[in-house]
């Protein structure tokens, strides 16, 4: 995938290689339980998102207000207006983040036939709040319904996290979300045409900030595996493979 060609050609599903540098965690056996673990994962994810989103916005707004007060005392009204315009953009971003959190909380209980509705609702809200072009390629609606409820929740979380990263960090303008059946499960690929990054460096320096740890944890919760492919200037691909539930 290059900057000029935002989406690579789909050559069909391939097994994830643990030796690949984009590998973020081992596959775990799928199970029908995991409710308590899912709740813990959700709490950690919300804590990270609150810290990286609204909390940072509020802290920055406080600093900018202090700057506005100083400029007002100096009588520099032109600079005050510029700072206020910047503050308005920050507040709007904080409002958008909070709306995403509220939508996430509503969707976290989604399962069964409602999983597709939750996916459609999230993508609609995401398009409206970011203005980004998001293409969904889901050839069979039954793909999600074949998964257990905790697996569906994990898929939705990764599908939410990756586009948010593309918007906040990669400055992407296009995102493609593709679902593909495999003999052993379903493969979900989220591609963007953003600035890209060095995966190995990100894992070492700031994996939490980029959401890599959170997505890997959700993949493990679903009994699957996650890989990230990216290079500076060449966009990113997040690949999630979730196994079909085993017969009880």
pLDDT digits (tens, 9 = 90+) for 189-210: 999 999 988 887 776 665 445 5
239 compared with 113, residue with greater pLDDT: 239
pLDDT at residue 157 in the model: 84
Query: Is residue 77 scored above 80 in pLDDT?
Result: yes
CA distances from 64 to 50, 61, 76, 77, 89 (A): 20, 5, 15, 14, 12
Q: What is the pLDDT of residue 24?
A: 42
Contacting residues for 113 by C-beta, under 8 A, at least 6 apart? 145
Q: What is the pLDDT of residue 53?
A: 67
Query: For residue 72, what pLDDT is reported?
Result: 92
What is the pTM for the complete model shown?
A: 0.61
Which CATH code fits 35-243? 3.30.565.10
Answer yes or no: is pLDDT of 54 > 80: no
pLDDT digits 0-9 by tens, 118-166: 888 888 878 877 888 899 999 988 888 889 888 888 898 899 889 888 8
pLDDT-derived band of residue 175, with 50, 70 and 90 as boundaries?
A: very high
Give whichever of 9-23, 49-63, 229-243 has the largest mean pLDDT. 229-243
Q: In this predicted model, which residue has the larger pLDDT, 231 or 113?
A: 231
Q: Which residue has the higher pLDDT, 30 or 88?
A: 88
Residue 228 contacts by C-beta under 8 Å, 6 or more apart in sequence? 22, 24, 199, 212, 236, 237, 238, 239
| Of 31 and 57, more confident | 57
More confident residue, 185 or 95: 185
Average pLDDT over residues 95-109: 65
Domain boundaries, the chain: 35-243
Higher pLDDT, 176 or 55: 176
Confidence of residue 1 (pLDDT cuts 50, 70, 90): very low
Average pLDDT, the chain: 75
The strand pair at 174-182 and 185-192 is best described as antiparallel
Strand-pair partners of 186 = 181, 242
């Amino acid at each position: 995938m290059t900057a000029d060609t935002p989406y690579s050609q789909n050559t069909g599903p391939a097994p994830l290689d643990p030796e690949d540098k984009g590998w973020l965690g081992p596959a775990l056996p799928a199970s029908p339980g995991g409710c308590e673990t899912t709740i813990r994962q959700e709490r950690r994810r919300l804590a990270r998102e609150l810290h990286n989103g609204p909390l940072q916005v509020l802290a920055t707004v406080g600093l900018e207000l202090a700057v506005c007060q100083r400029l007002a005392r100096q009588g520099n009204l032109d600079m005050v207006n510029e700072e206020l315009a910047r503050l308005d953009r920050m507040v709007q971003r904080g409002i958008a983040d909070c709306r995403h959190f509220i939508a996430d909380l509503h969707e976290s209980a989604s399962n069964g036939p409602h999983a597709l509705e939750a996916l459609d609702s999230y993508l609609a809200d995401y398009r409206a709040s970011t203005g980004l072009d998001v293409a969904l390629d889901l050839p069979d609606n039954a793909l999600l319904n074949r998964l257990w409820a905790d697996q569906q929740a994990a898929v939705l979380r990764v599908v939410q996290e990756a586009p948010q990263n593309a918007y906040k960090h990669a400055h992407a303008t296009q995102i493609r979300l593709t679902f593909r059946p495999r003999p052993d499960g379903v493969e979900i690929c989220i591609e963007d045409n953003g600035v890209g990054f060095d995966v190995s460096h990100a894992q070492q320096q700031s994996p939490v900030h980029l959401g890599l740890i959170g997505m890997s944890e959700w993949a493990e919760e679903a009994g699957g595996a996650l890989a990230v492919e990216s290079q500076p200037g060449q966009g990113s691909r997040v690949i999630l493979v979730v196994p079909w539930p085993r017969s009880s």
